Amino acid sequence: MSNKLPHWNCVASRLVKAELQKRGIKYAELSNLLANIGIEQTPANLRSKLSKGIFSASLLLQIFHVISADINPSELGVILCGCEKSN
């Protein structure tokens, strides 16, 4: 398995997007949910960060908190494989 940064950016991006999609949460709603806990992120800013997979671990945890994400380790494995194949 490669430790290249773009590979892990891909994993981060796909992981968050998959969790949002499962819950039917759009960027505007995510922005509002984050604002409810004092985190200011515009929908456009979130879209940009998530599309590139470049965001802090803090933001990742904040997103998972506000959407009540429960990450399944087997899903992470699928995402890892998908990102390896796309690089």
- List the chain domain ranges: 5-86
Q: Which residues of 48-76 are buried (b: 16+ CB within 10 A; e: fewer)?
A: ebbeebebeeebeebbeebbebeeeeeee
Confidence at residue 85, expressed as pLDDT on a 0 to 100 scale = 73
pTM > 0.75: yes or no = yes
Cα 9 from Cα 22, distance rounded (Å): 20
Note the pLDDT tens digit of each residue in 39-64.
Answer: 999 999 999 999 999 999 999 999 99
CA angle (39, 49, 24) in 5-degree steps: 75
CATH of 5-86 given 3.40.50, 1.10.260, 1.10.3210, 3.30.1050: 1.10.260
The owner of tokens 């899903």 is: 75
Contact 11, 59 (CB under 8 A): no
Q: Which residue has the higher pLDDT, 73 or 52?
A: 52
